[in-house]
């Protein structure tokens, strides 16, 4: 049996209101377009989540909303706000969906992506994981509690700029 992880960094956020706390920053116009493009890319490849594990920040919530996808279970966790890779692995190990979308922040999500795959994709931006970068990863496991470091096989990686050009 396989499980699929869709790993997405939040889309580009706005800095128009400097008084806003980091957790409360919304997406900017480019971020909204990017999130929609990533959602369309996932739909076109039939990579659709049953479950979403996301940071509780405004920008990750908006990224999920603008992706235009549906999931049976959507959970926003404060523990995923600027989580490190170990925290992300712990959250993922409790997931139940066949396909899970995780939405998070750098630098944790870039580190997590690098540590969770066997072989990184041949893409110059994978290691810095720009805003709304998305990797689709398959695992040969029965349950998410069995996921281990360096065990996932990359099925796809994309950054919004490649979709919007």
The predicted-structure confidence for 23-73, as pLDDT tens digits, reads as follows: 999 999 999 999 999 999 999 999 999 999 999 999 999 999 999 999 999
Distance, CA of 40 to chain centre: 15
pLDDT band at 105 (very low <50, low <70, confident <90, very high): very high
pLDDT tens, residue by residue, 116-133:
999 999 999 999 999 999
Interstrand relation of 134-139 and 153-158 (parallel, antiparallel or unpaired) = antiparallel
User: How many whole angstroms separate alpha carbon 147 and alpha carbon 125?
Assistant: 24
pLDDT at residue 1 is higher than 90: no
pLDDT value for 127:
95
Query: Is the per-residue pLDDT at 150 higher than 90?
Result: yes
Domains delineated in the chain: 3-12+23-164 (3.40.50.1240)
pLDDT value at 155 more than 90: yes
Q: Is residue 39 a contact partner of residue 66, using CB atoms and an 8 Å limit?
A: yes
């Amino acid at each position: 049996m396989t499980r699929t992880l869709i790993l997405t960094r939040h889309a580009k956020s706005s800095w128009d209101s400097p008084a806003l706390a980091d957790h409360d920053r919304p997406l900017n116009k480019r971020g909204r377009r990017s999130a929609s493009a990533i959602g369309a890319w996932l739909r076109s490849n039939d990579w659709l989540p049953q479950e979403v594990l996301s940071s509780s920040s405004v920008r990750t919530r908006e990224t999920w909303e603008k992706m235009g996808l549906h999931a049976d279970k959507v959970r926003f966790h404060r523990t995923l706000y600027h989580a490190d890779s170990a925290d992300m692995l712990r959250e993922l190990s409790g997931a139940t969906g066949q396909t899970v979308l995780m939405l998070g922040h750098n630098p944790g999500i870039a580190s997590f992506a690098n540590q969770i795959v066997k072989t990184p994709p041949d893409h110059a931006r994978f290691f810095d994981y720009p805003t709304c970068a998305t990797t689709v990863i398959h695992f040969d496991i029965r349950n998410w509690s069995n996921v281990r470091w360096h065990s996932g096989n990359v099925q796809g990686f994309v950054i919004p700029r490649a979709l919007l050009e």
